[in-house]
């Protein structure tokens, strides 16, 4: 198995990131951070710079990214060949200098993530819940056009003179081209921007969204709500909302995978003589038979009464650990009979 670090970890972005712009931004940030011109003589930074270049080369190529998402660095289908990280960095900057970003074009909205607390009962049966999210939504003032009325005319940006970029010189000859913050890379600005969103096409808005929680969901599992992320820019498609579940501790059951563990009290006489006992399950109780001489700590397993596995569709078991209860406050007659029983027992 490969000992290389995960590409998403190297670029410090969530695993599975699909936005090309997010990957580019992350690469630019990490490449500048570890560039040898900023860290002269630092071997660790030099290795990190090479690692960042390799990660970007994989995640910026759809085919390589798909293979990595499935196999990681241990891709059995092909042997990856990586280029000089300095060539990658130079090519990356050249692309940005030659192809300024067009902020007037439709762009997909960003994905959002949030958490939700789920009880064991809700996970067992499935439930629909409301979540409150504040997100960038399409501006109601301009309907996502960014302009006031129908005036779509644009003026050349004075900050970048229409290039869409601002070039910064770092440590002598090292140049870094960045998107112009005044026009966000378009090279021009709307002559009459919307007064509500100031031409950005989006505004922050609180939303209440219904999310259907499937049966069997567990801590860390996610539900994806397509189109419920941030609104797209310039009427582009909306991103997705990922809702991550967090299970609340239960008073009786402890969940282990798809099985539910609990303790069931059994009297001393029930354990000694055997017979039917009552075991609690999620939606009631069931009877189970134990053998005579059952010992403390024995586990009764009830297959099919646990949690549904959201992937396989199989159902786990209830695993009840028997806790022997000892009688207290015996009366004189009970003590006499118990003593007589004890006298007949052989050690």
Say what the pLDDT of residue 291 is.
Answer: 93
- The ranges assigned to domains in the chain are 1-99, 100-153+191-249, 254-344
4-17: buried (b, 16+ CB within 10 Å) or exposed (e) per residue?
Answer: eeebbebbebeeeb
| pTM of the model as a whole | 0.60
* 114's tokens: 């949030």
Q: Quick: pLDDT tens for 70-94.
A: 777 766 554 555 666 655 655 565 5
Say what the pLDDT of residue 345 is.
Answer: 75
CATH 1.10.287.110 correct for 1-99? yes
Per-residue pLDDT of the chain (347 residues; tens, 9 = 90+): 456 888 889 899 988 788 888 888 888 888 888 877 777 788 888 888 888 888 888 888 888 888 887 777 766 554 555 666 655 655 565 555 444 455 567 888 889 999 999 999 999 999 999 999 999 999 999 888 888 888 888 888 888 888 888 877 655 555 667 778 777 777 888 889 999 998 888 999 999 999 999 999 999 899 999 999 999 887 889 999 999 999 999 999 999 999 999 999 998 889 989 999 999 999 999 999 999 999 999 999 999 999 999 888 999 999 999 999 888 888 899 888 888 888 887 54
Say yes or no: do domains 100-153+191-249 and 254-344 share a fold.
yes
Say what the pLDDT of residue 178 is.
Answer: 75
Pick the CATH number of 100-153+191-249 from 3.30.9.10, 2.60.260.20, 3.20.20.70, 1.10.3720.10: 2.60.260.20
What distance in Å separates the CA atoms of residue 42 and residue 234, rounded to the nearest whole number?
44
Distances (CA, A) of 334 to 276, 327, 340: 23, 10, 10
Largest Cα–Cα separation, the chain: 105
CATH class (in words) of the domain with range 254-344: mainly beta
Write the DSSP string, 216-281: T--TT-EEEETT-SSPPBTTPPP--EEEEEEEPPPSS-EEETTEEEEEEEEEHHHHHH-EEEEEEE
């Amino acid at each position: 198995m490969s000992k290389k670090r995960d590409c998403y970890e190297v670029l410090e972005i969530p695993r599975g990131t699909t936005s090309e712009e997010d990957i580019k931004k992350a690469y630019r940030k990490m490449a500048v951070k570890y560039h040898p011109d900023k860290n002269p003589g630092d071997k660790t930074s030099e290795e990190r710079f090479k690692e960042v270049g390799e990660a970007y080369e994989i995640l910026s190529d759809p085919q390589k990214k798909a293979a990595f998402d499935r196999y990681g660095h241990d891709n059995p289908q092909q042997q990856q060949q990586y280029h000089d990280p300095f060539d990658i960095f130079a090519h990356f900057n050249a692309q940005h200098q030659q192809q300024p970003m067009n902020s007037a074009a439709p762009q997909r909205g960003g994905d959002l993530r949030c958490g939700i607390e789920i009880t064991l009962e809700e996970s067992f049966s499935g439930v629909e819940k409301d979540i409150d999210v504040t997100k960038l939504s399409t501006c109601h003032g301009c309907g996502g056009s960014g302009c006031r009325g129908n005036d779509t005319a644009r003026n050349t940006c004075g900050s970048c003179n229409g290039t869409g970029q601002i070039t910064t010189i770092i440590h002598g000859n090292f140049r870094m081209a960045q998107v112009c913050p005044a026009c966000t890379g378009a090279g021009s600005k709307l002559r009459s921007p919307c007064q509500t969103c100031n031409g950005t096409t989006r505004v922050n808005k609180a939303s209440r969204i219904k999310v259907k929680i499937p049966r069997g969901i567990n801590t860390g599992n996610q539900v994806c709500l397509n189109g419920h992320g941030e609104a797209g820019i310039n009427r582009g498609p909306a991103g997705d909302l990922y809702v991550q579940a967090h299970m609340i501790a239960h008073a009786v059951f402890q969940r282990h995978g798809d099985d539910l563990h609990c303790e069931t009290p059994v009297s001393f006489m029930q354990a000694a003589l055997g017979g039917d006992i009552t075991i609690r399950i999620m939606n009631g109780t069931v009877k189970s038979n134990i053998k005579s001489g059952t010992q403390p700590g024995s586990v009764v397993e009830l297959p099919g009464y646990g949690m549904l596995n959201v992937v396989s569709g199989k159902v786990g078991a209830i695993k009840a650990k028997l806790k022997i209860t000892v009688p207290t406050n015996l009366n004189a007659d009970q003590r006499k009979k118990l003593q007589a029983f004890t006298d007949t027992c052989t050690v």
